[in-house]
């Protein structure tokens, strides 16, 4: 079993939050909040300086944006079209860093980039995207995973015999990395907790005010309804899409899961005519499925209600039909969506909107916006440099191994896994068990019959009433609901 929280960590953390005066409170348990807390704890340990830093999240860690992305650690090949060379260079450097410090979670993934368009259009695409791949390799430098190489039409057929050859000119192979995004986030928090930080999920901050030298944060335990006050000298607002200031552009990315399309263990990276890149990634137990995504759609609704739309389903299914015509039109087994909280800009489409980040101090509140999951560690370092400038350069988090060495992903849902998730990962919701601890809900069609035995297992540990069991099943089915 993986590293984890101590069994009583949540209860002890809440007790500490009620009585201690914190140096720094991080509000938001996404990848940025988790990375900042780990960085703070590592530097405190390195300097020997006492630090009281803590983190709270209104839900479970990684249950929102940070656990529902494309599950890739990548440089962002498509951003070269928008001349974002610095962003790509940073992401490629961080790709190498994460591959080094978390090899049990980050693994190289070769990708086939097909060039369609017949002789004229295909040749142009090879020249255009080949130039991008050349720049991609150059920006990675000595940290590159594998040099790009080109495939003839016949070689593509040998590797992926069911990939469409209509208009296929040739292809290229390049490499990025796959990741279990939720697990990487959790391991950042496991390490921070091991270094002494209080970490509590299902704790909602209903606002804060400055009184003298301290922030007073009105907090609520969403499991019990109990309210209490948290005092802190400084705050980090890492709520991402839940930032109430309205300064972010929320872009929704959605994915569908279908029966396996890929014949090989390569992913497919396909640039559509609209400039989006669609990935088809081997997925699920023994890679028996394919993950297809992503979309780029401006999200106008609440960050608490993020789901794939009918248009997005149609768009992704059309991509499947284009790339794998022999597969027919497979109905999705599952789908999920997340929000990218981007720095607001005018005049650009959701696809072209910059993924660059912005970190700044608003008084004694540190704000963070934009960025990519891949670059979270570098963003965390930048944030801590602002919070504690005297610590700058004191700890090389790029060299600090993350977590253990074995496979840290729970792949099934049984009694042992349920016990572990509740006791050692602080899971208190059915949806968090099947969408965060295991990704079980992203790998099959969820029904009441599928979920009920799992809910009843959880009810014996927590315990839940029969009404709570029904509510948990209904809430999880609602999250998994497909449009239409």
Burial of 67 (0-12, 13-18, 19+ CB in 10 A): buried
Distance, in Å, from the CA atom of 433 to the CA atom of 426, rounded to the nearest integer, reads 10
Confirm if 327 and 261 have CB atoms less than 8 A apart: yes
Fold of 9-66+182-245+354-399: FAD/NAD(P)-binding domain (3.50.50)
Residue ranges, comma separated, of all CATH 3.50.50.60 domains in the chain are 9-66+182-245+354-399
Distance, in Å, from the CA atom of 448 to the CA atom of 351, rounded to the nearest integer, reads 36
Closest CA to 216 of 11, 36, 18, 9: 18
Q: Which two tokens stand for residue 306?
A: 């993020």
Q: Which CATH superfamily is domain 107-178+247-343 in?
A: D-Amino Acid Oxidase, subunit A, domain 2 (3.30.9.10)
pTM score, whole prediction? 0.95
pLDDT at 342: 84
Reading the chain (484 residues) residue by residue, the pLDDT tens digits are 457 999 999 999 999 999 999 999 999 999 999 999 999 999 999 999 999 999 999 999 999 889 999 999 999 999 998 889 999 999 999 999 999 999 999 999 999 999 999 999 999 999 999 999 999 999 999 999 999 999 999 999 999 999 999 999 999 999 999 999 999 999 999 999 999 999 999 999 999 999 999 999 999 999 999 999 999 999 999 998 887 665 788 899 999 999 999 999 999 999 988 878 999 999 998 899 999 989 989 998 888 889 999 999 999 999 999 999 999 999 999 999 999 888 766 555 656 566 778 899 998 899 998 889 999 999 999 999 999 999 988 888 888 898 765 555 677 788 999 999 999 999 999 999 999 999 999 999 999 999 999 999 999 999 899 999 999 999 999 999 998 7
Report the Cα 361 to chain-centroid distance in Å.
25
Ramachandran angles phi, psi of 38, nearest 5°: -60, -45
Burial of 375 (0-12, 13-18, 19+ CB in 10 A): buried
Residue ranges, comma separated, of all CATH 3.30.9.10 domains in the chain are 107-178+247-343
Closest CA to 370 of 136, 84, 102: 84
CB count, 10 Å around CB of 186?
Answer: 28
Closest CA to 69 of 319, 371, 273, 354: 371
pLDDT at 412: 73
CB count, 10 Å around CB of 364?
Answer: 15
pLDDT at 1: 41
Distance, in Å, from the CA atom of 239 to the CA atom of 303, rounded to the nearest integer, reads 11
Distance, in Å, from the CA atom of 483 to the CA atom of 399, rounded to the nearest integer, reads 44
pLDDT at 178: 96
Distance, in Å, from the CA atom of 398 to the CA atom of 378, rounded to the nearest integer, reads 8
Distance, in Å, from the CA atom of 260 to the CA atom of 262, rounded to the nearest integer, reads 6
């Amino acid at each position: 079993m993986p590293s984890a929280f101590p069994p009583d960590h949540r209860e002890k953390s809440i007790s500490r939050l009620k009585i201690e005066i914190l140096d720094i409170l991080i509000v938001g348990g996404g990848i940025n909040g988790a990375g900042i807390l780990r960085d703070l704890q590592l530097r405190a340990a390195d300097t020997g300086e006492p630090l009281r830093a803590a983190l709270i999240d209104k839900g479970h860690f990684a249950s929102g944006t940070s656990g529902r992305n494309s599950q890739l650690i990548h440089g962002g090949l498509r951003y070269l079209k928008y001349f974002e060379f610095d962003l790509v260079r940073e992401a490629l450097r961080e790709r190498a860093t994460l591959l080094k410090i978390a090899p049990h979670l980050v693994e190289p993934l070769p990708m086939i980039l097909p060039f369609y368009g017949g002789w004229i259009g295909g040749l142009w695409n090879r020249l255009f995207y080949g130039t991008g791949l050349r720049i991609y390799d150059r920006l990675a430098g000595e940290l590159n995973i594998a040099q790009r190489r080109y495939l003839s039409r016949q070689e593509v057929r040998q590797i992926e015999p069911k990939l469409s050859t209509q208009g296929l000119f040739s292809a290229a192979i390049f490499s990025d990395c796959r990741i279990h995004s939720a697990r990487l986030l959790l391991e950042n928090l496991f390490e921070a907790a091991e270094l002494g930080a209080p970490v509590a999920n299902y704790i909602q901050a209903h606002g804060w005010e400055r009184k003298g030298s301290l922030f007073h944060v009105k907090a609520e335990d969403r499991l019990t309804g109990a309210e209490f006050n948290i005092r802190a000298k400084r705050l980090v607002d890492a709520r991402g899409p839940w930032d109430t200031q309205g300064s972010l552009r929320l872009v929704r990315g959605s994915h569908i899961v279908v029966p396996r399309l890929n014949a090989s263990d390569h992913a497919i990276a396909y640039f559509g005519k609209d400039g989006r890149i669609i990935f088809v990634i081997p997925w699920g137990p023994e890679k028996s499925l394919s993950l297809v995504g992503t979309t780029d759609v401006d999200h106008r609704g609440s960050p608490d209600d993020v789901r794939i739309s009918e248009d997005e389903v149609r768009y992704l299914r059309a991509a499947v039909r284009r790339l794998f015509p022999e597969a027919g039109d497979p109905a999705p087994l599952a789908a999920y969506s997340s929000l990218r909280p981007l720095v607001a800009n005018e005049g650009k489409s959701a696809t072209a909107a910059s993924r660059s980040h912005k970190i700044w101090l608003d008084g004694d509140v540190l704000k963070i916006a934009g960025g990519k999951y891949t670059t979270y560690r570098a963003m965390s370092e930048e944030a801590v440099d602002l919070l504690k400038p005297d610590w700058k350069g004191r700890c090389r988090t790029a060299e600090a191994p993350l977590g253990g060495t074995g496979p840290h992903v729970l792949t099934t849902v049984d009694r042992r896994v349920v016990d572990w998730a509740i006791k050692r990962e602080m899971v208190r919701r059915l949806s968090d068990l099947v969408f965060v601890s295991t990704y079980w809900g992203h790998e099959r069609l969820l029904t009441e019959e599928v979920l009920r035995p799992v809910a009843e297992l959880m009810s014996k540990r927590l315990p839940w009433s029969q009404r709570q069991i029904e509510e948990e099943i209904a809430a999880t089915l609602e999250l998994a609901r497909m449009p239409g």
